Every structure is written in C-alpha cells, then in structure tokens.
Amino acid sequence: MTRVAITGMGVVSAIGNDIETFRRALHDTTGGLAPAQGLDEVPKGITVVGQVRDFDAEARFGRDRLALLDPFSQFAMAAADEAIGMAGLDFRADPAMGQRTACIIGTGGAGIATLQEGFVRLYRDGKHRVNPFTVPRYMGNAACSQVTMAHGITGPSFAVTSACATANHAIGLGFHMVRGGVADRAVVGGTDALVNFGNLKAWEALRVVSRDTCRPFSKDRTGMVVGEGAGVFVLERWDDAVARGAPILAEMIGFGMSADAGDITFPSVEGASRAVQACLDDAGLTAADVDHINAHGTATTANDATEAKVIRAVFGDAADRLAVSSTKSFHGHGLGAAGGLELVAAIVAAQDGFVPPTLNLTELDPECPLDVVTGTGRAMDVRTVVSNSFAFGGLNAVLAIRRAEG
C-alpha cells in the first residue's frame, strides 16, 4: 500500500497558536493551564482551564467573515491555514488537486459557544431572536466546510464526532483514504472551543474535573482540566511529497480503533487494548518497535489506571522501556481536538529526539506502573510513537507515526 507522509501541521492551543510556540512550550516545560479569562461567570468548581489565549479572530478573519464562524471553526481554520501553508499547497491554483484532496475535521462539542450565546439571549436577556447565522455556525460540519471553502478543497469531505477520540478518528480515516488510493492527500484533524460557562458547568456536574491542576498518573491526581484548540495535518502520498520537494515531518504508519460496547463513561481495558493492538498490526509493528507513547492520560482516577493496564497488556515486558507522557498536563483535555494537539506533540518528539514531560506529577500512582517522563523531559532516540485516545462511549482510536526516513 502507498506510504503516507505528513507534510504540514498547524495548531491552536493553550500553549501556543502556532507550531513553533507550541514546540518551545514543550521543551521549556511551559504549561498553559490557568484560571479562565473573559467569561461572565466561571463555575465555582473550575479553578483552571486550558484556554486558547491571544487569538485575535477579527484580525485573522475580518468582522464580516467572523459573523459566520463559531470559535471552533475559527480554531480549525487557523490551524488548517498553518498546516496547508507549511505543506506548500495551493488548491485554488490547481483545481484538479483540490478534487483529489479529502478534508476530515472532527469536533466533540461543535458550536457550543454559539448555542450558549443564543440561550443567553433568549432566556436571560429576554430577546425574541437569535443570531440568524446560528445554524451554520453551530452545526458539527461547520469547521470542515469552512476549511474546504477557504482553500478550494472539493474532494470527499466530512466531519466526525466521537468525544475524546474524535481527532484520532478523523486523522486515521484520512490516513486510510490516502493509503488506499481514495484520495491523493487529506487535510485532517480535530477542533473544539469549550471554555464557556455552559460547557464548564456540564463537566463540573460529572465530578471528573480537577480541583487544582492536571496531574496524569500521579497518586494525588484529582481529575481532568477542560481545554480547547485545534490540531490539523496534511497527509499525502509519500512519492508525491518527495516528487514536489515537500517537507516531510513524519510518516503516518498505523491506525487502530475499537468499541468497548460497555459503560458510557467507564473505560475498558479489553476494548482499548484491541485498538492499540490493531494500530500496531496496521503499522506492522511489534511491541519492541515503539519508543514513546503519548498517552490519553486524562488525570482521572479510572482512565489513568485503565490506560496503564492497557499498555501493560499490549506491550508486556516491553512496557518497561517505553517512555510515556501525557501532554494534557500542558494544554488540558481538548476533547475533540485532543488527538490533534497530541499528534503535534508526538511529531515534535520524533523530530527533536525529545519526549516532553508529564507536568505536575508528584508521586507515581502504584496503579500506573509505567516509565512516565517527568521533570524537564527526556532526550532520547525517538523513531516510532503511538498516540492513544480513549473516549466516553467506549470509542477508541490509536495512531502510530515514524520519524521521517528515506
């Protein structure tokens, strides 16, 4: 089957709104979790969030265009602009290329900010009408559609939603489409804009949100931190990328998915293990081939302990030499964007020979017997990385990449 190159990536996040700022934050161990800003009200149980800051939407898009864009679409478009620019592609200059390009942008919460704005107008402020663009702003495919329109992508395009596994599903589906010849290239990723009162209140009600900060795999962890942002990538046929002299950031080599078919919120070791093993099989990897795992690592009691069991079940003795980290400790849980943010971190690890640390860990939980990287990170030879996403609803999606090599 066709080899697949990653030739572009873009990011919007709590630790940077471009790749180089994001990269520096990982190397400098500069976390982005802080009290929410700019909200009329913050739920009392929410102390910190992974909020996108210093994002000037009007400067990027202009006031008229902005009227049609919920923040989740804004984030996706900014990340897509960076990814497509990095890849050196211009679909409008070559309409035939646009027809052979897929676009899959996933989201967990879609236009929740637009919906909240409408509810506030109707029920708090007593208005009788909402924004006339409410539907095209909040619909789940809005971000994907806006990216296609902005760049002239006219091939197979759609949105996916699977909670925390959304971005990995979108990226993995695009990978399989390119590898299988359905498309020559794909613009893929995930986006969510979730730092608003209504969404934070909903997560607070689940009682899974941290009382202080995000401490994946730490014995004293108290829960997840809500984040937001977008991670978008350009995947293309390896030979095409080489022929046009494109920068090859990494090679996408595997994708696995599964359903627990169990509990709506409690994760399954068996279900997640099948997704990880399916990814290794798809990539032609053995347990000994993997150097680093970017963990799902939400910092909830159940998820971290379950993921540790998954890694042990799949990798066996090889788990002892796997460098594990959760970058959610930097940028929070981006939900539909999470896998996109984490794939950026995985690519940075392979490019730079540097595994970012898991921040805030004070004492490794005995229920999580893994080689969790802490401190200032770890310089090491990183050739192959696996990135896990295990979602509410028991939907699991796992990606594997390899350092770019001839």
**Distance from C-alpha of 227 to C-alpha of 164, rounded to nearest angstrom:** 11
Q: Which residues neighbour 206 within 8 Å (Cβ) at sequence distance 6 or greater?
A: 265
| DSSP symbols for 146-196 | HHHHHHT--SSEE----GGGHHHHHHHHHHHHHHTTS-SEEEEEEEE---S
Which residues belong to the active site? 164, 296, 333
Amino acid at position 286, single letter: T
Other CB atoms closer than 10 Å to residue 259's CB: what's the count?
15
**Distance from C-alpha of 80 to C-alpha of 84, rounded to nearest angstrom:** 6
- Cα 322 from chain centroid? 21
Other CB atoms closer than 10 Å to residue 366's CB: what's the count?
9
Rounded-to-10 torsion of CA 302, 308, 311, 315: -150
Beta-strand pair 395-403/250-259: antiparallel
**Distance from C-alpha of 402 to C-alpha of 383, rounded to nearest angstrom:** 6
Residue 202, token pair as written in the block: 């909903």
| DSSP symbols for 57-79 | HHHHH-HHHHTT--HHHHHHHHH
Beta-strand pair 229-237/292-294: unpaired
